[in-house]
Amino acid sequence: MTPFDATSGSHRPSPPPQDPWAQVGLALTLVAVDPAGLRGVWLRGRAGPVRDRILTALDPLAPRKLHPFMAEDALTGGLDLSATLALNTLQRHEGLLSRNGFLTLTMAERCPPDLSVRLGQALDARSGLSLVALDEAAEEGEGLPQALADRLALFLDIDVFGWSDTSDLVLDWPRIAAAQARLRSIALPSEALVQMTRLAATLAIDSLRAPWLALMAARAHLAWRGGQALTEDDLKIGVELVLAQRARALPQDAPEDTAPPPPEPPETDPDQGRERDAQEPQIPDDLLIEAAFAALPPGVLARLQAARAARTGAGGSGAGAKRKSIARGRPMPSRPGKPGSGARVDVVATLRQAAPWQAMRRAARPDAPAGRLLLMPGDIRIKRYQDRTDRVLIFVVDASGSAAVARLAEAKGAVEIMLAEAYSARDHVALVTFRGDHAELALPPTRSLVQAKRRLAGLPGGGATPLAGAMQVALDASLQARARAMSPKLAFLTDGRGNIALDGTANRAQAGEDAMRLARAIAARAIPTLVIDTSLRPKPQLSELAATMNATRIVLPRADARAMAATLGAALGG
Amino acid sequence: MTPFPFAAIVGQDEMKTAMVLTAIDPKIGGVLVFGDRGTGKSTAVRALAALLPPIQAVAGCPCNSATAEDCPDWAQVTDLALVERPTPVVDLPLGVSEDRVTGALDIERALTRGEKAFEAGLLARANRGYLYIDEVNLLEDHIVDLLLDVAQSGENVVEREGLSIRHPARFVLVGSGNPEEGELRPQLLDRFGLSVEVTSPKEIETRIEVIRRRDAYENDHATFMAQWQPEDAALRTRILAARAALGDLKTSNVVLHDVASVCLALGSDGLRGELTLLRAARALAAYEGAPDVTRDHIRRAAPMALRHRLRRDPLDDAGSTARVARQLAEVLP
């Protein structure tokens, strides 16, 4: 019945956790004991019978359901129009966030940044509110938004469980109630505070919420087992359930985690903890670190090794990319506005807006025809969609002498085909060209096919190759696009023989240096980039440059326009 | 629970200084706090409220008017008594509707009594006080536009149902956010007088102290507040003294020249940077009880007054804080 019962109450040393499923039961128990302290559970895994078992166990908490695209007034409450009109007095309905209790956030991996932040704020402001986030992330990079991941104490990865590993979970509610009563009287010993904070720092966890939440988990565990003082077992639970998942470095790494060395098994590193903690810690840190290791979810070790690369990727991608993933067909709340200019009137919202004022308006205009709704311009609500794809393809086309004229014609053709495709996909396109002593933004981001074609056709060829200048123009255009919440992508079509430096001088060495510097700047901002090498015999400079930009490089010495466009389309993700 | 005391915030000195300066001279124009999660950004802003000296306002006025004459007509204020009330610090939540920000027709009175009446919004409540936006970089564009417009004119104008309502809306913007979640438009950035960047403390002792105080705040609340509230009170007194001293503070031509050359060297946009830097340096001098503003005050105020006003330079990986420091070292040796 309650398999996790076995783990509580006893003091036997227990790394690694003997029964992972029991650990799940314990985690749920702890969050039920102290929802205000732990704030909630981050449950990663696919929907299925295993997840259902977990959610069934939480049923007695009567969680309310929340999904990522709920309307504003469902969250914060609003006017209850039908009740208001029926009773002729103001009736409001309560929002999900304005009441205490448990919320279940479904499809948490799709939670847009603004909602995650608002949920975070709600959790901060209302200690009676707790959240179970159901994260079905399938791929690397998807997942619960940081604003929530940082606040929810407990992490459970349930994809590791097969159906046969699990059994029905029934929480021991009377005992939970007793633990809740004990919770208030438990004081956290100073050594525990110190130790948990140190340990979190050793695992390179930046946020100070983490050690605090781990302490809360330890305290809840103590209350649950009904002990007198915090012991190693309690702290270990905090480490396993809270800190392990957040670890960004292994203990033997430098805390800065600049160059994570390959992780070694924990038992080869007994020294560091002892040396540092000469001031009689209550419990050896080693044991806790071991606990952290044992509790590391599968894949985390690999993640830690790749931590640095992953972090630049995630950190630099900016708002545009994130927003794009939530943009698809999402209707936005209606706004007041004027009809016409292509806007569509949201009839229902407009009627809702007008309804409460009818009595008042009728009183002001007794001559108005009976039985008709009195609408005012201010009632009109306009529909809004996030229908743009938010993508800008910035083509950087080499029109210099070294890029042979025939090749330029192919490049132009490819860009034209891409333009047509972009047009149907409602992408924006921009064009940077470079030749002679300068590069220019020949076409700022646009959806106008005609304009783009005209600019391309008029593109002259010949002259020197100011590649660095072109990269700068392209970078500026990308950053501007990002500032407008669009996702820029760069496509270079060049043979890469840059010979004009940023300052306009014909200095090949300086030109190469400038180009590398810009390549690093482009990489640092994680702008997805594609380099099409159009030279007959590909040179190492360009491949080096492409590598520095983290770009995909495609060699197309003899491609015709259609093949080039197909390649571009595939490489840029369709 | 009473908010966390300002004085008990561990470390984060630049953020605390910036907030104290804006409390001394609200004309500096607010603070933007950008930084990592879990660094106590919003805790600090909420704590700031306790430091602000109270204001005199007409008791019945929805927009905190200072005198009976200032009360807008539509408010039909009946209670004209002057009362002392805490400086308003109003939260502007994300996802707020335009109606709630600007005010709208009072739906209850329209329904129950068939009257047209205006229900004041957040802008009215924030008049003569502070408007706080947590996660300001996620605010919807149309709300940002609205704020920029009102902040520019100092007046909120609403036209609804044949009513034309206007009222003063002068407020200091305070914002906080996490840069990973989106950038801020330069126009909005410019509205903030000062900006600071916060990071998680690196020293282990500092981190431990943070956790200790949090524990004391949550689990031994009364004792903790009894310990720290006097410190907050002392800080408030000091802010009041600095306010009084501000008028007598001398600013030499050399100092004015310094301010201009720093801004010139950094190429900060517009005159707002210069004015803010000067005001911030003066407030800093007043806070420290100095008789006049010195180059040192400018040097210390410059990063927070200027770092968000620089033109973006994609090639400079150092970040704006380092750029300000570099120029300061050159211009003000």
pLDDT at A556: 66
CB contact under 8 A, B181 and A117: yes
Whole-number average pLDDT of chain A: 75
Q: Is A281 an interface residue toward B (CB < 8 Å)?
A: no
Tell me the ipTM for this assembly. Answer: 0.87
Q: Is B219 an interface residue toward A (CB < 8 Å)?
A: yes
Q: φ, ψ for residue A18 (rounded to 5)?
A: -70, -35
CB contact under 8 A, A150 and B219: no
Residue A257 contacts residue A308 (beta carbons within 8 Å): yes
CB contact under 8 A, B108 and A363: no
Answer whether residue B317 shows pLDDT above 70: no
Residue of B nearest to A195 (CA): B208
The residue among A299 and A277 whose pLDDT is bigger is: A299
Residue A250: C-alpha distances to residues A214, A236, A257, A259, A413 (Å): 18, 17, 9, 11, 52
Among B110, B180, B211, select the one facing A212 at the smallest CB separation. Answer: B211
- Domain spanning A391-571 has what CATH number? 3.40.50.410
CA angle (B170, B176, B180) in 5-degree steps: 140
Q: Is A447 an interface residue toward B (CB < 8 Å)?
A: no
CB contact under 8 A, A121 and B105: no
pLDDT band at A424 (very low <50, low <70, confident <90, very high): low
Cα–Cα dist B24/B283, whole Å = 6
The residue among A425 and A184 whose pLDDT is bigger is: A184
Is the domain defined by B6-198 classed in CATH 3.90.1150.10?
Answer: no
Among B108, B138, B207, select the one facing A117 at the smallest CB separation. Answer: B138
Q: Say how many C-beta atoms besides its own lie within 10 A of residue A569's C-beta.
A: 17
Question: Looking at residues A230-239, what average pLDDT do you find?
Answer: 89
Cα–Cα dist A434/A473, whole Å = 10
Cα–Cα dist B19/A376, whole Å = 45
CB contact under 8 A, B207 and A117: no
Distance from CA of A275 to the nearest CA of B (A): 15
Q: Which residues of B touch A359 (CB under 8 A)?
A: 110-111, 114
pLDDT tens-digit readout, A173-200: 999 999 999 998 899 999 999 999 998 8
pLDDT at A446: 75
Q: Is B100 an interface residue toward A (CB < 8 Å)?
A: no
pLDDT at A308: 32
The residue among A80 and A3 whose pLDDT is bigger is: A80
Q: Which residues of A touch B162 (CB under 8 A)?
A: 376
Choose the mutation target among A73, A96, A208 for the interface with B, i.e. most B CBs under 10 Å. A208
pLDDT at B56: 92
Q: Is B251 an interface residue toward A (CB < 8 Å)?
A: no
pLDDT at A502: 83
The residue among B133 and A2 whose pLDDT is bigger is: B133
| Local structure of A348: helix, strand or coil | helix
Please state the domain extents for chain A: 332-386, 391-571
Distance from CA of B114 to the nearest CA of A (A): 4
pLDDT at A269: 38
Distance from CA of A383 to the nearest CA of B (A): 14
Side-chain half-sphere of B198: how many Cα atoms within 13 Å? 31
CB contact under 8 A, A121 and B135: yes
pLDDT band at B328 (very low <50, low <70, confident <90, very high): confident
Are both B6-198 and B253-331 of the same fold?
Answer: no
Packed helices A190-202 and A209-225: angle between N→C axes, nearest 10 degrees? 130
Question: Looking at residues B142-171, what average pLDDT do you find?
Answer: 86
pLDDT tens-digit readout, B251-264: 889 999 999 998 88
Distance from CA of B46 to the nearest CA of A (A): 11
Answer whether residue A138 shows pLDDT above 90: no
Q: Is A246 an interface residue toward B (CB < 8 Å)?
A: no
CB contact under 8 A, A89 and B111: yes
Among A147, A315, A485, select the one facing B37 at the smallest CB separation. Answer: A147
pLDDT band at A534 (very low <50, low <70, confident <90, very high): confident
Among A72, A208, A483, select the one facing B211 at the smallest CB separation. Answer: A208
Cα–Cα dist B230/B5, whole Å = 10
CB contact under 8 A, A197 and B211: yes
Q: Which residues of A touch B93 (CB under 8 A)?
A: 76, 118, 121
Answer whether residue B112 shows pLDDT above 80: no
Please state the domain extents for chain B: 6-198, 253-331
Residue A568 contacts residue A418 (beta carbons within 8 Å): yes
pLDDT at A260: 37
Distance from CA of A187 to the nearest CA of B (A): 7
Answer whether residue A102 shows pLDDT above 70: yes
pLDDT at A3: 39
Cα–Cα dist B174/B30, whole Å = 5
Secondary structure (DSSP) of B83-135? EEEPPPEEE--TT--HHHHHEEE-HHHHHHH----EEE-HHHHHTTEEEEEET
pLDDT at B294: 92
Q: Is A316 an interface residue toward B (CB < 8 Å)?
A: no
Answer whether residue B92 shows pLDDT above 80: yes
Cα–Cα dist B72/B167, whole Å = 6
Q: Is B116 an interface residue toward A (CB < 8 Å)?
A: yes
Q: Which residues of A touch B107 (CB under 8 A)?
A: 79, 90, 356
Q: Which amino acid is at A245?
A: Q
Residue of B nearest to A520 (CA): B315
**Which residue intervals of chain B are DSSP H helices?**
13-24, 41-48, 98-102, 107-113, 122-126, 141-153, 186-191, 204-219, 221-246, 253-266, 272-287, 295-306, 320-331
pLDDT at A291: 65
The residue among A332 and A508 whose pLDDT is bigger is: A508
Cα–Cα dist B40/A351, whole Å = 44
Does B272 qualify as catalytic in the annotation? yes
Answer whether residue A504 shows pLDDT above 50: yes
Residue of B nearest to A359 (CA): B114
- Domain spanning B253-331 has what CATH number? 1.10.8.80
Structure tokens at A204: 């390179």
User: Residues of A numbered 64-123 whose beta carbons fall under 8 angstroms of chain B's beta carbons: which are they?
Assistant: 72, 75-76, 79, 84, 88-90, 113-114, 117-118, 121
User: Residues of A numbered 375-404 whose beta carbons fall under 8 angstroms of chain B's beta carbons: which are they?
Assistant: 376, 378
The residue among B133 and A562 whose pLDDT is bigger is: B133
The residue among A234 and A348 whose pLDDT is bigger is: A234
Q: Please compute Rg for chain B using Cα positions.
A: 21
Answer whether residue A30 shows pLDDT above 70: yes
CB contact under 8 A, A363 and B114: yes
Cα–Cα dist A31/A287, whole Å = 24
Q: Please compute Rg for chain A using Cα positions.
A: 30
Q: Is A201 an interface residue toward B (CB < 8 Å)?
A: yes
pLDDT at A27: 93
Residue of B nearest to A478 (CA): B314
Residue B262: C-alpha distances to residues A110, A571, B258, B303, B333 (Å): 46, 47, 6, 11, 11
DSSP letter at A60 equals G
Q: Which residue among the candidates B109, B272, B295, B299 is catalytic per the annotation? A: B272
Task: Give the range among A47-61, A137-151, B2-16 with minimum mean pLDDT.
Answer: A137-151
pLDDT band at B266 (very low <50, low <70, confident <90, very high): confident
Q: Which residues of A touch B116 (CB under 8 A)?
A: 360, 364
Q: Is A315 an interface residue toward B (CB < 8 Å)?
A: yes
> Residue B23, exposed/middle/buried by CB under 10 A (0-12, 13-18, 19+)?
buried
pLDDT at B295: 92
Cα–Cα dist A494/A496, whole Å = 5
Cα–Cα dist B134/B117, whole Å = 30
pLDDT at A209: 92
Q: Is A172 an interface residue toward B (CB < 8 Å)?
A: no
Pick from B286, B280, B193: nearest CA to B239: B286
pLDDT at A215: 95
Question: Looking at residues B58-69, what average pLDDT do you find?
Answer: 90
The residue among A308 and A81 whose pLDDT is bigger is: A81
Cα–Cα dist B208/B214, whole Å = 10
Among B98, B111, B134, select the one facing A90 at the smallest CB separation. Answer: B111
pLDDT tens-digit readout, A359-397: 778 877 788 777 778 887 778 887 766 544 467 888 888
pLDDT at B272: 86
